[in-house]
Homo-oligomer: A and B are copies of this chain.
Amino acid sequence: MCRWLAYSGTPLILEEVLYRPKHSLIDQSLHARMGVETTNGDGFGIGWYATHARTPAVFHDVGPAWSNRNLQEIAGHVRAPLFFAHVRASTGTAVQQTNCHPFRHDRWMWMHNGAIAGFHLLRRSLLLGVDPALFSSIEGTTDSEAMFYLALTFGLDEDPPGAVARMVGFVERVADQHGVPAPMQMTIAVADGERTWVFRYASEGTPRSLYFSRRVDDLRALHPDTDFLKDVSDETRLVVSEPLGDLPGAWNEVPANTYGVVEPGRDLLDEFRPQLP
List the interface of chain A (C-beta within 8 A of B). 13, 30, 38-39, 41-42, 48, 50, 52-53, 56-64, 67, 69-70, 73-74, 76-79, 90, 93-98, 120-121, 123-124, 127-128, 132, 135-136, 138-139, 141
| A63-B141 in contact (CB<8A) | no
Among candidates B48, B95, B124, residue contacting A135 with C-beta atoms closer than 8 Å: B124
**Residue of B whose beta carbon sits closest to that of A119:** B136
- In the complex, A50→B63 CA distance in Å? 26
- In the complex, A138→B124 CA distance in Å? 10
- In the complex, A203→B53 CA distance in Å? 43
If over half of A's interface residues share one DSSP class (helix, strand or loop), that class is named, otherwise mixed; here it is: mixed
What are 6 of the A-B contact pairs (CB < 8 Å)?
Answer: A38-B38, A50-B79, A57-B76, A60-B69, A62-B63, A121-B136
Q: How many copies does the complex hold?
A: 4
Among candidates B41, B52, B78, B141, residue contacting A50 with C-beta atoms closer than 8 Å: B78
Known: A50-B78, A57-B78, A60-B69. 18 other contacts (CB 8 A): A13-B53, A39-B41, A48-B77, A50-B79, A53-B76, A53-B77, A56-B77, A57-B73, A57-B77, A58-B73, A59-B74, A74-B74, A78-B78, A96-B98, A120-B136, A124-B132, A127-B127, A139-B141
Among candidates B52, B59, B78, B95, residue contacting A67 with C-beta atoms closer than 8 Å: B95
Chain B residues, Cβ within 8 Å of A70 = 59-61, 70, 97
Distance from A54 Cβ to chain B, minimum over Cβ atoms (Å): 11
Distance from A144 Cβ to chain B, minimum over Cβ atoms (Å): 16
Distance from A35 Cβ to chain B, minimum over Cβ atoms (Å): 14
- In the complex, A60→B95 CA distance in Å? 13
| A139-B94 in contact (CB<8A) | yes
